Structure 1
Amino acid sequence: MTLVLTVLEIVAPVFLLAAVGFGWVKLGFEYRLQFVTRLAMTLAVPCLIFTALVNTTLDPAALTTLTLASLVAYAAVSGIVLVLVRVARLNQSTYAAPLIFGNTGNLGLPLALFAFGEVGLEYAVVVFAVMALLSFTYGIWLVAGAGSFTKALKEPLMWATVLGAVFLWQDWKLPTFLDNTLGLIGQMAIPLMLITLGVAVARLSPGGIGRAMVLSLVKLAICIGCAWVAADWFALDKAAFGILVLQVATPVAVTSYMLAEKYGADAQSVAGLVVVSTLMSIGALPLLLAVLL
């Protein structure tokens, strides 16, 4: 009973904030999705990543190990998904990237914070940064069929990650006033992303629900399996182990829908994956947390 209450205390704030965004749209209030998303991804999230790395109390070697484990996990997921897409004769541009990459930002970061505390958030930032960089490069190549590695160089979160890693490596610290300022900006990232997730889901027009249900279950199984094996292989400690599995297992991100729409893939099918996998995560992620805690 105590474990059930603990899990509910962790997941309830996450899904309640998403529900606020969902209800906001359904009540007819204005929400400028593009503006808020840009604010979060170009300002709030980079500040969150940078300050988390600069102020981390974790051993740099542990962060390096988690980075390598994340790369191995995503490589394994990618390999299995590409085989699956080919065998099932699915369109690679539509289905590959959504089945590989999850919502490690909107859902993964707050879940990590509530489940494992500040240490969990510091670990989760590493996995999120790895996923984001892969998504902005390899992920766009899967959707667009053309290289877009220069896009990653234009993303503030990439530079926040690199700069934060340099500060961590050199053991540099920020002046207190600047650290407090960037910290305040970073603190708005998590509630912004959760509310925006609810808004985005409310506005999507999903298609292919039956196929989306099957593929969402398959994605969940592949991601948990690959992350679990990678975490075990690198002998991660309990918190890092749980964070890697939780982050990789998150549902399809709304950004997958945006990329599909931008590059001419089947956006409605991707919308179906976003909606179904997100709803499925309401039941799946608490069960996963109960195992990991």
Structure 2
Amino acid sequence: MEHLFLNVFNVILPVLICAGVGYALAVTKAPFDNKVIGGIVSKVGYPTLIISHLSATRIDVGAFLDMMLASAAAIAAFGVLGFGVLRVLRLPVRAFLTPMMHGNVGNIGLPITLLALGNAGMAYTMAFVVVVLVSIFTVGMWIPAGSFSPRRVVTSPVIWAVIVALGLLATGTHLPEPVEKSFDILGGLSIPLMLLTLGHTLATLRTGSLWRAVVLTGVHVVMAVVVASALVWAFGFTGVERGALILCCLMPVSVATYLFIDQNVPEYAPDVAGFILVSTLATIVVLPLALSYWI
């Protein structure tokens, strides 16, 4: 158990350090433009990250699509349960539903599943990552904005990146080496920039927001256990597939969701930032317990 805690902590600690740098930038009043950073992440960082990761993935296309379907079902279940919880707690759906629906399966899920389940587990997690990113940049964008825009879907770089990446995966095609390396570099921008933005916003976090974040994190973990159990049974997953789905459902709140909260309902941005932080910290306890007694 101690070994598991240490390994998970080693994955979480870089996330916290990056957020801490963003916090320090806010405290020292260094120039920091959230809108510019958000534009870079959504238009360049995440699209290139999707293509670079998926082009290197080695997995049966049928199994990959099964996991994508399970991932979509998981997000829908989190959405339905989250909507009910937010209504009961009398919290604004526009601000909190997008984070409740989407887990951080990218920069935390991938290394954790690699550690616990090997390359096959990470490949299944990549299917979850694709669906989460598509959902964040469609439904997750519409909820805080309070409107649906077909034009945004058609023009979204993330959607086109997924189409290209799935084409590469299905045909076994590789990108030219210079393009692949450039996409690796550009894709590497997204997570650090979003973590800096998260930390920068945490500098405005209020004490009341922190207690709210603790309650929401507890609810989110319970939801994750319910959703994972139901989907493992419904899809009949076993072995690595089962483990990957459970771990993906248990991931903390996605940092990427913060982008649209900050843009559309900025008055709740500190509350959502606190939710992301506490949810991430809770992972240090939740994941080792799951790996020891459930997977």
How does the TM-score come out when normalised to structure 1?
A: 0.81
State the alpha-carbon separation in 1 of the partners of residues 78 and 150 from structure 2: 21
Aligned residue identity for 1:86? R
Instruction: Report the alpha carbon displacement of residue 94 of structure 1 after superposing the two structures with TM.
Output: 2.5
Instruction: Report the alpha carbon displacement of residue 185 of structure 1 after superposing the two structures with TM.
Output: 4.8
Query: Per-residue displacement from partner, 1:77-98 (whole Å, max 9, x unpaired)?
Result: 2112222223333322222222
Aligned residue identity for 2:57? T
Partner residue, 2:2? 4
Partner residue, 2:12? 14
Say if 2:164 is the partner of 1:166: no
**Partner SS, residue 161 of structure 1:** helix
Change beyond 3 A, Cα 1:67–1:128: same
Query: Per-residue displacement from partner, 1:40-69 (whole Å, max 9, x unpaired)?
Result: 554454334223323322111110100110
State the alpha-carbon separation in 2 of the partners of residues 48 and 255 from structure 1: 13
Which of 268, 271, 285 lines up with 1:269 in the alignment?
A: 271
State the alpha-carbon separation in 1 of the partners of residues 191 and 95 from structure 2: 29
Change beyond 3 A, Cα 1:193–1:223: farther
Partner residue, 1:287? 289
**Is the Cα contact below 8 Å between 1:96 and 1:142 reproduced in 2?**
yes
**Is the Cα contact below 8 Å between 1:49 and 1:160 reproduced in 2?**
yes
Partner residue, 1:91? 92
Gap regions ≥5 residues in structure 1: none
State the alpha-carbon separation in 2 of the partners of residues 17 and 213 from structure 1: 19
**Is the Cα contact below 8 Å between 1:81 and 1:96 reproduced in 2?**
yes
Give the total of aligned pairs.
290
State the alpha-carbon separation in 2 of the partners of residues 243 and 33 from structure 1: 36
Aligned residue identity for 2:89? A
Per mean C-alpha deviation after superposition, the further-off stretch among 124-133 and 18-27 is 18-27
Aligned residue identity for 1:54? S
Partner residue, 1:102? 103
Say if 2:151 is the partner of 1:150: yes
Per mean C-alpha deviation after superposition, the further-off stretch among 102-111 and 125-134 is 102-111
Change beyond 3 A, Cα 1:17–1:136: closer
Change beyond 3 A, Cα 1:13–1:76: closer
Partner residue, 2:80? 79
Change beyond 3 A, Cα 1:150–1:289: farther
State the alpha-carbon separation in 1 of the partners of residues 12 and 199 from structure 2: 14
Identity over aligned residues, as a percent? 26
Q: What is the correspondence of 1:179-194 to structure 2 with a 5 Å cutoff?
A: 179-183=180-184, 185-186=186-187, 188=188, 192=192
**Is the Cα contact below 8 Å between 2:217 and 2:278 reproduced in 1?**
yes
Change beyond 3 A, Cα 1:199–1:287: same
Instruction: Report the alpha carbon displacement of residue 131 of structure 1 after superposing the two structures with TM.
Output: 1.3
Instruction: Report the alpha carbon displacement of residue 286 of structure 1 after superposing the two structures with TM.
Output: 2.8
Change beyond 3 A, Cα 1:238–1:39: farther
State the alpha-carbon separation in 1 of the partners of residues 248 and 173 from structure 2: 28
Partner residue, 2:58? 57
Say if 2:250 is the partner of 1:252: no
State the alpha-carbon separation in 2 of the partners of residues 260 and 191 from structure 1: 17
Query: Per-residue displacement from partner, 1:142-168 (whole Å, max 9, x unpaired)?
Result: 222211343344443322211111122
Partner residue, 1:278? 280
